[in-house]
Copies of this chain bind each other. A is one copy, B any other.
Amino acid sequence: MKTSQPGVVARVPLTRERVLAGAAEIADGSGIGALTMRSLAHALGAKPMSLYHHVANKDEILDALVDLVFSEVEVPSEAPDGWRAAMEARAHGMRAALARHPWAVGLMETRTTPGAANLRHHNATLGVLRRSGFSLDAAGHAYALMDSYIYGFALQEAGLPVGKPDSDPQVVQAMARSIPADELPYLAEMAMDRALQPDYRFSAEFDVGLAIILDGLAGLLPQHPERLLNNPT
């Protein structure tokens, strides 16, 4: 059988789906820096120029990758348990997807044209808020706050030395221990007495911050007239 080649998937016609799936696999496995048109083509058993028959250019691949991450997050439902449970589930789903694909959050800065899954996700989330009694302004505030938090948390997680390919606990320990306690006492304290403790997991911080944010958002509902909806100054 001359079609089979060692280490390469047997001859299968290229499709846009196969190209995008291959791109995601490379980015997940070797980082976004390892994703080149040449490496992608090679992984698919084709030549670089063949890719251009299925995608316009690399930018289109990156746009599609971001939307692929959004498509993995379950769209917020009719909220049988109320808006708070729906927002918690969405936040957890979004953060999990961004943790599975650490390259995604860094890509968002440059990608300005949102994909279909992105739009659908945004629309559904806003829908839950609006139908739960949030005014248009309140829903806007809530969305900006929650998304900033989710994306920023994912950004910090992606930048952490832990959990990455080069995650040598000894290196992390050494880095933290190299903090000069006389010059940076508070940072040294935080590293030694908290972040480096064996039971500490940064990811657990997510729920703490999320609870504070959702508590605050509850105050934007009209049932809580003690807080002004629009201009809290």
Q: Residues of A with Cβ closer than 8 Å to B?
A: 102, 105-106, 108-112, 119-120, 122-124, 126-127, 130, 136-137, 139-141, 143-145, 147-153, 155-156, 158-161, 164, 179, 183-187, 189-190, 193-195, 202, 205, 208-209, 211-213, 215-217, 219, 232
Contact = CB atoms under 8 A, between A and B. Distances in A.
A137 B149 CA distance: 19
A140 B186 contact: no
A161 B156 CA distance: 24
A197 to B, nearest CB: 10
Contacts of A106: 106, 109-110
Contacts of A219: 212
Contact of A189 (B136, B209, B232): B136
B159 A152 contact: no
Contact of A127 (B140, B152, B186): B186
B109 A209 contact: no
Contacts of A124: 186
Contacts of A112: 159-161, 164
Nearest to A131: B186
Given A149-B149, A194-B140, A212-B145, A186 B155 contact: no
